[in-house]
Amino acid sequence: MRYRDNDFGHARLGLAISKRVSKRAVERNRIKRLLRESFRRVRHRLPAVDLMVMAREQAAGVPGPELLGDIDALWKKLLASQSGEQPPLKPGDSTATIVR
Q: How far apart are CA 73 and CA 14, in angstroms?
A: 18
| pLDDT confidence of residue 98 | 57
Q: Which residues, other chains included, contact 56 with Cβ-Cβ below 8 Å and sequence gap of 6+?
A: 21
**Predicted confidence (pLDDT) at residue 92 exceeds the cutoff of 60:** no
What pLDDT, on a 0 to 100 scale, did the predictor assign at position 97?
A: 58
69-81 pLDDT, tens digit per residue, is: 999 999 998 888 8
pLDDT at 89: 44
For residues 8-25, average pLDDT: 94
| Residue 12 CA, distance from chain mean position | 10
Per the CB < 8 A criterion, the answer to whether 28 and 79 are in contact is no
Mean pLDDT of all residues belonging to the chain = 85
| DSSP class of 85 | S
Q: Is 47:6 a contact under the CB 8 Å cutoff? A: no
The total domain count for the chain is: 1
What CATH number has the domain bearing residue 66?
3.30.230.10
- More reliable by pLDDT, 44 or 84: 44
Q: Which range of residues forms the domain containing residue 13?
A: 2-97
